[in-house]
A = this chain, B = another copy of it.
């Protein structure tokens, strides 16, 4: 019996042997923290998943090589500039970030991972970033909050979680910090998620656990369907918990994977509910689909529909837009079998039965839709596969934020 224990008010600084720092390098004009440095005194096993966008930012291209290294010691990330569409010059600068970090730690540049987030197509001010890395190494104490702030762009809340689980009587911790609120869409969106753990696990098993989890967590959230050039989720595991090495799909692996997935889903929900301009978290649950793929396509189509999202903003129980989104999703659905309801923790209002509208209580529905967490339940009544996707409403502020992002 495995139990996941959430450690409140703890973050990535709680993972032994890691140091986490956030400082201001001057890239961000407002003196906000903009450089995040994470490193482990013990060598780490690392796994990563990266954007599927054909246009990949320089740090993504660099990491696709570096992630193959046997050991990784550090992640260095900047905000305010995405170092994307910056050509060979951008790639060299991403390498310089790794190289500078490696020098401080007396390790190889290939043992450092790099991330950037911000505006696309502007040359990275590398002098400031290098200055920032030097400054970060001068910090004596870990500060997870500063590290989190350093990767935030239009994010309005900090996204972090720390959990504890037991493996063979040993306490193992997993913690994450993340950023992401714009350009978030299934298939890795601009989001950075840095996950640290003291679990003792092989690279193969860590990779497998991350890949499987990502499909049902980060890849099931969407803010605006734009998939960014810079997305990544990285896990570093330094083994300091001294649990029996996880090297095969045994029960320890399953417990660890479940815990890692819990972290990723919670972080995903935090990202969706902090979608640019969002006022509420929208959770689309699809039940009884003929296949897992159909369930996922259907759930994603609902949370990505601009018309559904605008209706959610207006607390309008316009379920017609939901069935419409199911219909054009490309998923294998039979409209005449579809049931749709709105719910929250306390109540539920059924609005559509077998594809036709019900005479429902508009006031009760509005009360649900006025909440901060709205669940849209779709029963396809056509199989046994389920899926959940998370998104947010479409608001005036989304337009405001994105109408003048660069200025």
Contacts and interface: CB of A to CB of B under 8 A. Distances in A.
Interface string A96-140: 000000000000000000000001111100000000000000000
Contacts of A396: 396, 399-400
Contacts of A357: 85-86, 121-123
A147 to B, nearest CB: 26
Interface centre among A119, A307, A406 (most CB of B within 10 A): A307
Interface string A304-337: 1111001101101011110111111000010110
A316 B352 contact: no
Contacts of A316: 403-407
B224 A182 contact: no
A196 interface: no
B328 A54 contact: yes
Contacts of A323: 55, 85, 120-121
B307 A120 contact: no
A327 B54 contact: yes
A interface residue count range (under 10 / 10 to 19 / 20 to 34 / 35 or more)? 35 or more
A229 interface: yes
B319 A121 contact: yes
A264 interface: no
B310 A120 contact: no
A324 B183 contact: yes
B356 A307 contact: no
Nearest to A332: B54
A226 interface: yes
Contacts of A52: 328
Contacts of A185: 328
B86 A333 contact: no
For this chain, the copies found in one complex come to 2
A28 to B, nearest CB: 18
Contacts of A325: 226
A243 interface: no
B355 A85 contact: yes
Contacts of A327: 53-56, 227, 229
B307 A226 contact: yes
Contacts of A336: 87
Contacts of A401: 310
Given A120-B323, A328-B226, A357-B122, A402 B54 contact: no
A405 B311 contact: yes
A395 interface: yes
A228 interface: yes
A153 interface: no
5 contacts: A54-B333, A86-B357, A87-B336, A228-B324, A394-B399
Given A226-B325, A398-B399, 5 more contacts: A119-B318, A187-B328, A226-B324, A311-B405, A316-B404
